[in-house]
Structure 1
Amino acid sequence: MRPLPLILAAAAGAIAAPAVAADLTVTLDVPTIRTAAYHRPYVAVWIEQPDQTAVRTIALWYEAGDTGRGEGRGEDYLKDVRTWWRKGGRAMALPIDGVTGPTRAPGRQTVTVSGARLSSLPAGQYNVVIEAAREQGGREVIRLPFTWGGAANTASAAGTSELGAVRVAVTR
């Protein structure tokens, strides 16, 4: 039988330990859309609480800088990614190292966030939200629930217009 102080020390260590040593991976398909004037979508991926309070933006794809076509800066059009914009995007100073990047071509795209980058995220239930908006196109938002700080888990859904298959996975 173990002495009581060792049992209490082990229990305290378990409580004080980080909630998770996991990665969060979001996989999404940007569909091929056959149209004369195709523009790659602006895409925002963020984490929110179940009450839809934004927690953290984990990816933002847009056309940064002057396009050279007299259209101005790509940042001017981020407001078209309306849900993300209203939940805090307008307050962000861009670009954000490790988060922002250029628009992506049609096909399967992956965003992986290491557990180290999410170490301050308390264990609990969350949603990953993916929003895509395309010039002369549509706009689509998909929410996928996930649990952070527990066992590995996945969720998936399929978009109907601007997004194809979407999957979130928490892996240990």
Structure 2
Amino acid sequence: MCEAVAPLLEAAPSAWVRQQFVAQLALGQQMLGALCGFGTVHCSLGLHRDDVGGGGQSLLSLFTITWQDTPAAPRAATAARAVTAPDGHRRVAYLELPCGPATVSETLRPPVTGSPLPRLPLLQVHAHLPHPDCKRLAVLTVSSTAAARRAEYRAVLEGIADTVRFTDPLGAVS
């Protein structure tokens, strides 16, 4: 981590800017620690231009992969059960992917009062992929405040889910 961040710190115009950067980085580490506490094993931040809307504004997204333990059940039942929770899943679709049955859904969370985050609703597109051991569920999620781009984020997530395989490339089932 120190090697990766060193060039950024050296490029900072002043000691104050370096301190601010380190403080923000520490906050980011705390947030990632909280995600790990919920079973998140991967997190990627996306910053890209909105080339659909014509305005060219920047869009921010977060992609996570989280493992959830589930009661043993057939994989199709686990996929279906994942979207029946009272979390407000909408636009639910059942898919047959190369890795097996899956459900894709969307949630729209209202802004949190008193939060330092932007006061915009948070779109979350989820793909629920039951593991072949029938005891775990991989949840892939793309989150963004650009709710108007829901169809594009959903297409991206479905494309990612289509690449998932529950096999070890060296031969052992994981």
Question: What range is the shorter-chain TM-score in?
Answer: under 0.3
More strand by share: 1
Q: Which structure ranks higher in relative contact order (CA pairs < 8 Å, sequence separation ≥ 6)?
A: 1
